[in-house]
Amino acid sequence: VRLTPAGEALVGHAERILAVLGEARSEMAQLRREIAGELRVAAFPTIASAVLPETIKALRAAFPRLDVVLEEMEPLDGLAALGAWRTDVALIDDLAAPLAGQGDDKLELVPLAQDQLYALLPQAHALAGKRSLAMGELRGEAWAMDSTASAFGDVVIGLCRRAGYEPRVNARCTGFEMVAAMVAAGCSVSVVPGLRLLRPSPGLQAVRLRPGVRRQISAAYRRGERDHPAVAAFVRELVRTTTQLLGKKAA
């Protein structure tokens, strides 16, 4: 399906209209001088479970009339929802959405954290005692994949392919809990983000990948709403909470 020249012209006008509406929305909110109403947030599971409960808890205490509504979405879906005005803030990472915000004058990104990927092994695995390992060393292993996080699964499969093999998947799971159970039982291995390790699970050993694989996690919002009081308050608290929680992990 291709837009006609008239359709392309209309899209350009619509984008400018939406930007002006965003600025108007922010200005009206500033004039009320109260942080209140509904703020919609889209976030992928690892960052959502790691930092958003504490962020929302702190905001509820500070601004009782602000209602933060969270919806779990993969990064690309969150960006699409942001562009369609179905959410106000989207939490994304540059592995699942590698070009997000680059050269896009409609979005603004606020860096939150660098998250490193780890191989997840049973504690009794022969490689579990290593300080780091290469993806090639997991050739021939059976893999557990979180099928709900399709974008992250694609990243893991890509790492295997670059190491010269196709992963043999013996568990397509609908959440990290099942991935962890399969690995802990010695049935599979996997690759997980460091944020998954904030709450250690018994029977598992995380080993750094060599060379290291990192992802940048950011909060994205429409540029016209950079001064919206609720958006600004949420992003400030999100940065504070993320820094505090990940600082504890590093310590």
> pLDDT tens-digit profile of 46-102?
899 889 999 999 999 999 999 999 999 999 999 999 989 999 999 999 988 875 555
Token pair for 156: 């893991």
SS (H, E, C) 132-169: EECHHHHCCCEEEEECCCHHHHHHHHHHHHHCCCCCEE
- pLDDT per position as a tens digit, 6-58: 777 776 666 666 555 555 554 455 445 568 899 999 999 889 988 999 999 99
Residue 28: enclosing H or E segment and its boundaries?
A: helix 5-32
The number of beta carbons lying within 10 Å of the beta carbon of residue 228 is 26
pLDDT at 139: 96
pLDDT at 217: 94
- pLDDT per position as a tens digit, 125-146: 999 999 999 999 999 999 999 8
- Residue that has been written with the tokens 């540029």 in this structure: 223
pLDDT at 61: 96
Task: Quote the DSSP letter at residue 203.
Answer: T
- pLDDT per position as a tens digit, 155-210: 899 999 999 999 999 999 988 899 999 999 999 999 999 988 887 789 999 999 99
pLDDT at 226: 82
pLDDT at 248: 54
Q: Please give the model's pTM, rounded to 2 decimal places.
A: 0.79
State whether residue 233 is helix, strand or coil.
helix
- Report how far residue 82's alpha carbon sits from residue 32's, in angstroms, rounded to the nearest whole number: 24
The number of beta carbons lying within 10 Å of the beta carbon of residue 99 is 8
Q: Residue 53: what residue type? A: P
pLDDT at 153: 87
- Report how far residue 101's alpha carbon sits from residue 99's, in angstroms, rounded to the nearest whole number: 6
Q: Residue 116: what residue type? A: Q
